[in-house]
Structures are given as structure tokens and as C-alpha cells.
Amino acid sequence: MSIGAAGFALDWATKQWALASLDPASAVPVIPGQLYLRLIRNPGAAFSMGESFTVVLTCLAIAAMVFLLAWMVPRVRHTGWAVATGLLLAGVSGNLFDRLTREPGAFHGHVVDFLQVPWFAIFNVADIWITFAAATVIWLTLITGVNLAGEKVERGGSPAGKTQS
């Protein structure tokens, strides 16, 4: 849970900084041609998809938080899965906080995005946490083959050395 809390805090702090420091009308080059700071308020999901479904996206994020906190967190017994779960909690809670507290109002709030790379969506630190969580989950399931409990899982889905009945 400490990864989730620290990740949320970093996301919140960077968004506060972006809102106080960046002008939506102009991009600030950090690495010219590679990374810019460009403030936008995104009502949709990645790549601004679903801009008219902000309430639905908010409800999905709430459902994801409930699933993570009620089902996943109590079952995690492996360090890699704990990291992935913490990163996912940080990312989902960071963007959910925006949807619940930012303008134009609760369940309609726009997510603060400010990191821009060429030919890609403008994103934020919460999105980075979600991406790292996804990469970690892929690594754990496909490469190491370990489940939430830390057991090595065979291709059929059961822990190695155990047969399904």
C-alpha cells in the first residue's frame, strides 16, 4: 500500500505543479523534439477517447479501486505482485481523484495531463504508474509465471506440482 500512497502523492504533487506553472496555450520544451510540458484537461480516457463518457469512466475507476482493495490486495503474497498492485492503485486513484474533485464537478472532472512526447497522447504521472503496472503484470504472468500468492503457475493455470480436480 505504501507504493500506492507514494505514487498517488507524486501524481497529485506534479499535477498541482503543472496547474500552477504551465500555460495551456504554450508548450515548454524539456528535451526539444522529444519531451514537452503541455497542460490540458482531459475529460476522456487515453488519447482523449470517450470524452462524452466521463461518468462511465469514473464509475469504472471506482469499480477498479474496489476490486484492487477488496480482492487483490488481500491475496498478494509476492513482492512483484505487490509492486504491480501498488502502481495500479497509485495510477487509478490519481486519475480518479481528478474525476471526482476537478472542474467541471464530481464524476465529470477532467484529468490533468501535462507530459507530451511526439506522436503520442499527452499524459500524466498516474498514467505512467498504470503503464508500469501493466508491464509488471505481463512480466509476472508471461515470463516468470508466478501468481499473486507467489506460486509458480503452469500453462493450465494451476500451481506447479498441483493438479486441478
- Active site (catalytic) residues: 113, 127
Q: Sort 109 into a burial class: Cβ within 10 Å, 0-12 / 13-18 / 19+.
A: buried
Closest by CA position to 133, among listed 98, 92, 95, 97: 92
What are the residues whose beta carbons fall under 8 Å from the beta carbon of 154, sequence distance 6 or more?
Answer: 145, 160
Closest by CA position to 122, among listed 29, 16, 48: 48
